[in-house]
Amino acid sequence: MNTQTMKSWASLIAVTMGALIMSSCSGSVTADPPSSKEAAIANELFGMVNAKRQAAGLNKLKPNGTLNNQSRKHTKWMMENRAKFRSEGRVSQLHNYGSHSRSYYATQQLRVETVSENVIAGWRLKGDIAQGIFDGWVRNKRQREQMMDDYYYTGIGVDIDDEGYVFAVQMFTSAPRPRGRSLNPNVQ
């Protein structure tokens, strides 16, 4: 088998594995369009994060539909599975579930090297929900650092359940890799 054929097979296997991983983690959860309230909160968060970044002399993040979709899928999944995790005593693990598969999917689909996310799972917020989410991320050292890191794209998902619990995810990625540049040092 020549090198080009091996590269083609490697790419096909990587994309297939990514699709399998994503489908196994997402189950039946789909990223339905957000309600107008949830979309407005996500848009407000996007503006708040970019304003904070600009005030610190950083680039504005560019919105990305793939990341919005992945973020929405995860907020919906957390909302639908919160009771199960609570009954098993694993609520603290709810927000991390599937993060590796979301990261892998983003690296393959967007040709990026770095993926990170900020999550709020099951908070009850009164008043300005977007401000409450933003303040929670800013108060958390790790999430604040991720918000202010050298990222290029972002996507935000927000869901609010019938009891008023808020679930929010903001994914961040580095700039896209140039075409022909692989993460695998053995493949160019």
Query: What is the full DSSP assignment across 28-52?
Result: T---PPPPHHHHHHHHHHHHHHHHH
pLDDT at position 109: 73
43 — pLDDT class (breaks 50, 70, 90):
very high
Cα–Cα distance measured from residue 66 to residue 72, given in angstroms and rounded to the nearest whole number: 10
pLDDT at position 114: 84
Cα–Cα distance measured from residue 129 to residue 34, given in angstroms and rounded to the nearest whole number: 15
pLDDT above 50 (res 20): no
For the whole prediction, is pTM greater than 0.75?
no
pLDDT above 90 (res 172): yes
At 105-147, the pLDDT tens digits run 666 777 888 888 898 877 777 889 999 999 999 999 999 999 9
At 56-87, the pLDDT tens digits run 999 999 999 999 998 998 888 888 877 565 54
180 — pLDDT class (breaks 50, 70, 90):
low
Considering the chain, what is the average pLDDT of its residues?
A: 74
35 — pLDDT class (breaks 50, 70, 90):
confident
**Residue 85 CB contacts under 8 Å (≥ 6 apart), including other chains:** 91, 93, 94, 97
- Give DSSP secondary structure letters for the chain: --HHHHHHHHHHHHHHHHHHHHHHHHTT---PPPPHHHHHHHHHHHHHHHHHHHHTTPPPPEE-HHHHHHHHHHHHHHHHHHHHHHHTT-GGGGGGTTHHHHHHHHHHHH--S-EEEEEEEEEE--S-HHHHHHHHHHHSHHHHHHHTSS--EEEEEEEE-TT-EEEEEEEEE-PPPPTT--SSTT--
Cα–Cα distance measured from residue 173 to residue 113, given in angstroms and rounded to the nearest whole number: 8
pLDDT above 50 (res 10): no
